[in-house]
Amino acid sequence: MQRKDGSYLERSESIIAYRKNWIAGGGIIFSPECFPTHQQKSKKVLKHDLTEQLQNINVNFPS
């Protein structure tokens, strides 16, 4: 990811920024046909399931 000043984020910073933007956008599922239907609604991950998935990888769901 590129900053406004033209420099690039470190890989770990980029992953965090991407995840934050993805969650802010509602957790859109890119391949809904490959994701369990009981964990999605309108092509987005259900908040409960998203929170659980993030906890599994030791990431706190943002408030």
This prediction has a pTM of 0.73
DSSP 59: -
pLDDT at 60: 78
Q: Spell out the domain ranges in the chain.
A: 11-56
DSSP annotation string for 4-57: TTS-B--HHHHHHHHHHHHHHTT-B-S-GGGS-GGGEETTEE-HHHHHHHHHHT
Position 54 pLDDT exceeds 80: yes
Average pLDDT on 19-26 reads 90
Task: Convert 18-28 to b/e letters by CB count within 10 Å (16 or more is b).
Answer: eeeeebeeebe
- Return the structure tokens found at 57: 């990888």
pLDDT at 63: 58
Residue 10 pLDDT exceeds 80: yes
Above 80 in pLDDT, residue 51?
yes
